[in-house]
Amino acid sequence: MRSSGVLQVDCEVVVPFFDIDMMEVVWHGHYVKYLEMARCALLDKIGHNYTQMRDAGYAWPVIDLQLRYICGATFGQKLIVRADLVEWENRLKIHYLISDFATGERMTRASSVQVAVEIASREMQMASPRVFVNAVEAALP
């Protein structure tokens, strides 16, 4: 069973025509885009988005991404993409769940891991920068 996160955000996505493949389902690579949309909404909720990360002197590359496809989404289908913050003190780990908006049926599970890299030195940080940790702690209920 997956661990629960401390903060969550739901993002609605309606599958556009240009995301489907010849089998009339969303091409597997487009799911990463849906995850990114939810991740950006979560970072906005935290109050420390990619622009603020960069301005603080850090890049946050994805170093691990895992997806499990359960059921393919189709053109025009309305989805809910939930991003769930799981870890933030040493790395940024987010769990995702993509579900059908109308039925709640689970369609895709995923997780991503990002680490802070100091832009000036290009050195990976062994702990998340204090500015990010403070933003998460301030956003906690």
Which pLDDT value is given to residue 95?
98
Domain ranges of the chain: 7-131
Which pLDDT value is given to residue 101?
98
Which pLDDT value is given to residue 4?
76
Taking the model in full, what pTM does it have?
0.94
For each successive 10 residues of the chain (141 residues), what is the average pLDDT? 82 97 95 98 97 97 97 97 97 98 97 98 96 96 85
Q: Measured between alpha carbons, how far is 128 from 114 in angstroms, rounded to an integer?
A: 10
Q: Is the C-alpha dihedral spanning 60, 64, 68, 74 positive or negative?
A: positive
Q: What's the CATH superfamily of 7-131?
A: Hotdog Thioesterase (3.10.129.10)
Which pLDDT value is given to residue 5?
87
